[in-house]
Amino acid sequence: MVGEKLREVRNAKRLSLASVASRAKISVASLSRIETSKQGIDLSLFLLLAKILGASPTELLDDGDAVEVSDKLLTQIIDLGPKERTQLWRDLADARAKRRVSPRRLLTDEVEELVAQADFLREEINTVRRGIRRR
């Protein structure tokens, strides 16, 4: 699940709960609950945590062989239709644009979001390819 993978990556990078939570502007308790699957995580926070941990979203969603669909966030993303997914990315970009940040920071965030989208789409394509090969 996503929470377990977040904890695994955070521990591998020897980052404390407090340091990651502080950078994400959430409480240590919230991050702990996310990592233990006691609290859900929305897409924007997921992408922010991936950035903080220096991990690609695909890395955090991939269990090595196949993506498990038991996590609520992953299930919601997978269940979105193409139009809904596009709207989600646009909404995230709009929300980020409304925050008061420097133009340089905004550009960096946009590039990272596009990379995250590309990683996600690449993984979806690979999942479809694996399904076709099995037939």
Distance CA 87, CA 69 (A): 22
Instruction: Work out the burial of residue 8: count CB atoms within 10 Å of its CB; fewer than 13 is exposed, 13-18 middle, 19 or more buried.
Output: middle
Tens of pLDDT along the chain (135 residues)? 788 889 999 999 999 989 999 999 988 888 998 898 888 888 888 888 988 998 888 778 765 544 444 466 667 776 777 788 778 777 777 766 666 556 666 667 677 777 777 777 888 888 888 888 887
Structure tokens at 63: 């269990």
Q: Give the pLDDT score at 58.
A: 75
DSSP 106-132: HHHHHHHHHHHHHHHHHHHHHHHHHHH
* pLDDT attached to residue 68: 47
Total domain count for the chain? 1
For position 109, what pLDDT does the model report? 66
21: containing domain: 2-134
CATH number, position 27:
1.10.260.40
